[in-house]
Amino acid sequence: MADASTATAPRQPGFGHVKADRARASVAGVFWNFLNIGLSTLLAMGVFLVTSRLLSPADFGAVALAVAIVTMAGTLVPAAFSEALVQRGDLRSDHLDAVFWSAVIVAAALLAALAFAAPAIAGWSDTAILAQILPVLALRLILDAASAVPSSLISRRMQFRTTALRTTAGNVAGALACLWLVFQGYAIWALVLSQIVNSAVAAVITAYGARWRPGLTLRPRALADLRRFGLYAMGGRVLTEARIDQFLLGIVLGAPALGLYFFARRLFTMLKDLTAGVFSPVTNVLMASLQDEGDKRRLAFLTASYASAAFAFPVFTGLIVVAPTAVPLIFGDQWTEAVFALRAFCIVGLMASIGIIQAALIRYLGRPDWWFWYQTAMQLSTVPIILLLWPLGLDAIMAGIVLRTLAMWPVSVRMTQRMLAMPFATYLGSLRGPILGAVALAMASGAVPLALPGAGPAAILAAQVAAGALAYASVLAATSHARLAEIMALLRKRGRTA
């Protein structure tokens, strides 16, 4: 017999998890995510290259501070409840309406608050431009809040092609707007307005692709159904997106140092999205649909972890080696001081490439509480690191962040083992190829400057990339026969039920 809430708001068709053809949908999802993020990263890299040559670290720092403030405010919007819509087995239309209207209402209130407080924030931070750019940048709050529910429906249905179209179109529009403003002489405003254009285009495409329109009711009981997962998801978003690090660095080290940090983090984020990031949307919904299928879940986790590491390890290892040559050559000498911070982020990126898969497993198998407290410990420990080490400068802070990450990462590995009932040898063995390949890449790339002592920076960089790629591909092929065969078999799979 249906309960009262089901009777008042019957479940609509099209809300269930995908059960048939999950393997094919997952592979297609990785393809579309890679295409989407690849095109988006190329656009972002082009814009980043142009603006980094025109703007000083102080200018970057001002925009970074504005982004940090708006992002911190945005974490108070209950848009993170949309993740509960992806995870929940029994989804109803009143769940969707409740998340949509609560997110939009809170976002509107925060937009008004930031517009009112912008002059005071600009004076307090001694960054006058904030008074102008904060109210404009805060428009993202409304646009992103309105996109949350349609985006969750697209993910739940594994419509990754729609996600790719949405993101690519938004990034293309944002990049074009940014470049046009840059060449008109408004470089700082280019960074701000491009984000608004991006969010607006993405919101329109998401709404169209989801084939859903909100109702006019907001049922508190429907929101309460999503409370447990939603609150932990919201808390996790507060921790990961609040940019506490940028906010504190801007206060204790000033805009120039924050600009160096923002430069390194932005480059790291683009590369992380291009590698491990292509698997995140797929593994989230896949783990949610495999909650009751232990054997398939273990296989999916090991395959995703291997694929993520195989993509990410050569990128981050290679950048650690070539950064001293590549950064001043490509972006300009003014960013040489950011090399240490970039290398530190790359070390974190090696662990993040596996951590993304671990997060999907732990959260979407019903332990969002555990992941939230783990992220709390990770993120809040950044505060004492910055406050204790800031007199020693940005490099010392980055070293502290790396050591913290290395010390805490095994905790999530242990939780992953427990949830999969999998010994550590099996877990580590699945990563043997990417690990050995990364070591070979570092040795081959690192030997190039010694072998070419009289060559110019461009020739050295090209030779390092070529030598590293050859070494990595050779070792990966020699050590991962079984895993590569499994992935190729999955790629050939057509029309069969997962």
Evaluate whether 298 touches 286 at the Cβ level (below 8 Å). no
Query: Is 46 or 201 the better-scoring residue by pLDDT?
Result: 201
Query: Is 316 or 227 the better-scoring residue by pLDDT?
Result: 316
Mean pLDDT, range 163-181, rounded to an integer: 75
pLDDT one-digit tens code per residue, 278-301: 766 666 666 666 656 666 777 778
Q: Which of 14-23, 118-127, 210-219, 416-425 has the lowest mean pLDDT?
A: 14-23
Distance between CA 301 and CA 359 in Å, rounded? Answer: 11
DSSP letter, residue 465: H
pLDDT above 90 covers a percentage of the chain that reads 19
Mean pLDDT, range 76-85, rounded to an integer: 74
Query: Is 355 or 55 the better-scoring residue by pLDDT?
Result: 355
Which among 104-118, 214-228, 245-259 has the top mean pLDDT? 104-118
Whether pLDDT at 417 is above 90: no
pLDDT one-digit tens code per residue, 86-116: 766 667 777 788 888 888 898 999 999 999 9
Evaluate whether 268 touches 320 at the Cβ level (below 8 Å). no
Domain borders along the chain are 18-242, 260-498
Whether pLDDT at 2 is above 60: no
pLDDT at 324: 93
What tokens were used for 7? 């009777």
pLDDT one-digit tens code per residue, 318-368: 999 999 999 999 888 888 999 999 999 999 999 988 888 888 888 777 787
Alpha helix ranges (H) inside 293-338: 294-331
pLDDT at 376: 83
Mean pLDDT, range 368-379, rounded to an integer: 83
What tokens were used for 387? 């406050």
Distance between CA 140 and CA 111 in Å, rounded? Answer: 9
Mean pLDDT, range 249-260, rounded to an integer: 81
Cα 325 to its chain centre, rounded Å, is: 27
pLDDT at 463: 94
Q: Is the dihedral of CA 156, 72, 33, 359 positive or negative?
A: negative
| Phi-psi label, residue 452: left if phi above 0, alpha if psi -120 to 50, beta otherwise | beta
Distance between CA 115 and CA 108 in Å, rounded? Answer: 11
pLDDT at 162: 66
pLDDT one-digit tens code per residue, 447-476: 999 888 878 889 999 999 999 999 999 998
Residue 394 exposure: Cα atoms within 13 Å on the Cβ side: 27
Mean pLDDT, range 433-454, rounded to an integer: 91
- Of 86, 87, 104, residue with least CA distance to 147: 104
